[in-house]
Amino acid sequence: MDKETRNAIERATQRIRRILQEDFAEQLDAVFDVRLDGRVAEEGGQHLTGRELLLRDRIVAAVEHKRRAGMKQADAVRDYIRDAAFTTLNRFAALKMLEPRGLVQECIGRGENSNGFTEFCGLAPALKTADGAGYRLYIESIFDELSTEVKVLFDRRDPASVLWPKKAIFDEMLEILNGADLKVVWKEDETIGWIYQFFNSGEERRQMRDESQAPRNSRELAIRNQFFTPSYVVQFLTDNTLGRIWYKMCEGRTGLAETCTYMVKASGSAPKSSDSAKKDPRDLRILDPACGSGHFLLYCFALLLLIYEEAWHDETSPTSSVTGRTLRRDYATLEDLKKATPGLILRHNLHGVDIDPRCAQIAQLALWMRAQRAFNDAKISRGERPIIRRANVVIAEPMPGDPKVVEDFSATLQPAMVANLFNEIVSEMRLAGEMGSLLPIERTLARSIDRARAAFNEEQSHTKKFLPGLAPIKRQGEFDLSGISNSAFFEKVEDNIFSALKAFVSDAVNGKGTRRRLFADDAEQGIAFVEMMGRRFDVLLMNPPFGASSLIAKRDFEAAYPKTKNNLYAAFVERGVQLLNQGGCLGAITSRSGFYLSTFKYWREEILLKTAPPMVVADLGYGVLDGAKVEAAAYCLEVRK
């Protein structure tokens, strides 16, 4: 995408953000009695209808949820407005991208004259109203339909979706999105990623850096490190990690040798079978530990489509650890495989983590659209496509900050060891928003599970002292830790907690529903993050943050990474190597400073030269990352622990 087109996206994004935030701030103050200075009236005014009172309860609960997570009252209100504007923009940008892909009927391309709304009104002519209420009903019905698969963006229960732009603002937003200068962008997969980057202006980033050399919190850390990775860099790093691994597994006999045009191959003979044992594609795990809009994951998706098909044709392909069977056994025909592959890729292969909650909206939407494109390329009709409900994209953020809700929920967990483990995770996740994938949560989890196992063994020993027939009766479904691994134990705990969260939300009374749902959403994200950090991966791809850690996490960060604490990107490489299997590959674009500055001596000598030596390095220089004043290098490492 050329600079002129990117500039057009930036102008449109900033303009829409401004008008939405101004409108939503005015609505909060004038309608819902929520002031920008953080003051919130105890009760809604008499001017509010019954429906508006319910909406106000959701807004107030969302603001209070942010405040209990550590924000000042005024910051919590501003953050809610920002969330609402971002979600609104993303939803309508998503519709603009779905229209040319045939995934929705034309619905906003010509406003109320769009074909979809015209047909909708043919069934109910009274919906064509001057105030736009009927058009809103139509758009919301599309959101509801899409939320069955892209819930994180289109779920109308999300408090960020409570506000709807006034008609004049709504019309102006559609006019901008439908402008001639943006006509070419909606067919491009990367457009939604640029919207994500440009939502925060360069001026905002400069102001943050002027006020503090180091990021002061997780939001600043995320915003200051939003740099879209160019497509050629994504391809270079992925071709030489995922592409190279499959190339070696196939001893060079793979179509990826031609598809991966940036793959650097050793001259002479093809790789030997002893270089890398074959795997079923379902057992290949890929992680982007700072995934942003999911650019790396999207290109991995394209390569994995080819990998799955090659493995299906390969008579020597091994069985999968997932099913215990080969792809050919699980999918009798190539058509069956193509119908299943997009879901398999999102379920088993691709994983992403970020500290910015908005990434979940962007990355999951982008991956869902990529899956639909794969279905379309395989000529699989909409009615025959399996539903894809979510991707493995999780947000690293503190667990719920309301001690009372945590206490109430913990009291519902049985047995006590599960409640204890949950409380320990909540405590250890307090810096997840600042450290993200750098948080070594799996080490804490291992110690916690060891304590739970010791308590279980002690109880078992105590039970053996009873005479036959007099021991306490074991309740059905009670945890049994005998002979199971830590990962198997955590799977049991995870299922237990998720079931309890659903019950906790459904049992809410007296207006506690939104509060508990926000708690449950955060808790589910936290548990999913812990589970993901306990896995090990074959490929790790990233454009990590660089510079200093956030001030809040400085002490913990330096304690966890004493040898690479001088720069975040060095710590991310160290952490990435920890998260990889033996023979796994890491691809990263970072500052080139680590290759020559004396402060990176340990990074070079202990990580690059001993643990994960470079396979390929590209010294790219200045101006590669849009807006980043850094000389960059792209490189791929292979783990040899």
| 189, 94 contact by CB (below 8 A) | no
12 pLDDT exceeds 80?
A: yes
Give the tokens for residue 410. 């913990």
Q: Is residue 197's pLDDT more than 90?
A: no
How confident is the model at residue 483, as a pLDDT?
60
- Average confidence (pLDDT) over 211-216: 71
pLDDT on residue 471: 59
Q: What DSSP state is assigned to residue 473?
A: P
Q: Which of 431-435, 540-544, 628-632 is the most confident on average?
A: 540-544
452 pLDDT higher than 50: yes
Strands (DSSP E) found in 527-641: 537-542, 580-591, 614-622, 631-638
Measure the N-to-C terminal CA separation of the chain; round to a whole number of Å.
Answer: 40
Q: Which residues, listed in sequence order, are joined to residue 542 by a DSSP beta bridge? A: 588
The alpha-carbon radius of gyration of the chain (Å, integer) is 26
- Looking at the chain, the whole-number percentage of residues with pLDDT higher than 70 is 91
**Which is higher by pLDDT, 155 or 174?**
174
* 350: DSSP letter: E
Residue 70 falls in which region: left (phi positive, over 0), alpha (psi -120 to 50) or beta: left
459, with CB counted inside 10 A (0-12, 13-18, 19+), is: middle
Q: Which fold has domain 215-261+536-641?
A: Rossmann fold (3.40.50)
CA-wise closest residue to 372 among 86, 114, 99:
99
CB atoms within 10 A of CB 576: 26
Task: State how far the Cα of 83 lies from the Cα of 64, in Å rounded to an integer.
Answer: 14
Distance, in Å, from the CA atom of 348 to the CA atom of 371, rounded to the nearest integer, reads 14
DSSP code at position 333: S
Q: How many of the other CB atoms lie within 10 Å of CB of 102? A: 10
Nearest alpha-carbon partner for 366 in 14, 117, 101: 101
Residue 218 half-sphere exposure toward CB, CA atoms < 13 A? 23
Give the closest residue to 23 by CA, choosing from 135, 142, 173: 173
Continuous H helices in 413-485 = 416-428, 432-435, 441-463
Q: Which of 212-221, 274-283, 568-577, 626-635 has the lowest mean pLDDT?
A: 212-221
Look at 158 and 19; give whichever has higher pLDDT: 19
pLDDT, residue 549, reads 84
- pLDDT tens-digit map of 281-314: 999 999 999 999 899 999 999 999 999 999 999 9
Query: Which residues, in sequence order, are CB contacts of 272 under 8 Å at separation 6+?
Result: 251
Confidence of residue 327 (pLDDT cuts 50, 70, 90): very high
Tokens coding 370: 């990529």
Return mean pLDDT, the chain. Answer: 88
3 state DSSP class of 266? coil
| Res. 463 pLDDT band, cuts 50 70 90 | low
Quote the percentage of the chain above a pLDDT of 90: 60
Answer yes or no: are the C-beta atoms of 452 and 489 closer than 8 Å.
Answer: yes
Burial class (CB in 10 A: 0-12, 13-18, 19+), 381: exposed
Render pLDDT for 40-82 as a digit per residue (tens, 0 to 9): 988 888 899 999 999 999 999 999 988 888 889 999 999 999 9
Sheet order of strands, 631-638 included: 392-395, 350-354, 286-288, 537-542, 580-591, 631-638, 614-622
Cβ atoms of residues 378 and 339 within 8 Å: yes
How confident is the model at residue 512, as a pLDDT? 65
On whether the CB atoms of residues 186 and 194 are closer than 8 A, the answer is no
- Total residues belonging to the chain: 641
> Is 341 exposed, middle or buried (CB count within 10 Å of its CB: 0-12, 13-18, 19+)?
buried
Element (H, E) at 288: strand 286-288
C-alpha–C-alpha distance, residues 340 and 36, integer Å: 49
pLDDT of residue 113: 95
State pLDDT tens for residues 508-549: 655 567 788 888 888 888 888 988 999 999 999 999 998 888
Residue 473 pLDDT greater than 70, yes or no: no
> What integer is the mean pLDDT of 168-179?
98
Determine how many CB atoms are found less than 10 A away from the CB of residue 379. Answer: 9
- The residue assigned the tokens 């769009």 is 114
* Spatial contact of 73 and 142, defined as CB atoms under 8 Å apart: no
Domain(s) of CATH 3.40.50.150: residues in the chain: 215-261+536-641
What is the average per-residue pLDDT within 259-271?
84
Q: Which amino acid type is present at position 640?
A: R
Quick: pLDDT tens for 483-505.
Answer: 667 777 777 878 888 888 888 88
Note the pLDDT of residue 216.
75
Q: Are 173 and 104 in contact (CB under 8 A)?
A: no
- Omega of the bond leading into 415 within 30 degrees of 0 (cis): yes
Helices and strands (DSSP H and E) totals, the chain? 26, 7
Longest CA span, the chain? 84
The CA distance from 312 to 276, in Å, is 19
What number of other Cβ atoms are within 10 A of residue 364's Cβ? 24
Question: To 10 degrees, the CA torsion angle through 569, 574, 575, 581?
Answer: 130
What is the pLDDT confidence band of residue 467, given thresholds at 50, 70 and 90? low
3-state secondary structure 559-587: HHCCCCCCCHHHHHHHHHHHCEEEEEEEE
Angstrom CA distances, 149 to 131, 406, 431, 523, stand at 30, 29, 31, 21
The stretch 348-360 carries a mean pLDDT of 91
pLDDT at 458 over 90: no
C-alpha span between 500 and 293 (Å, rounded): 31
pLDDT of residue 477: 45
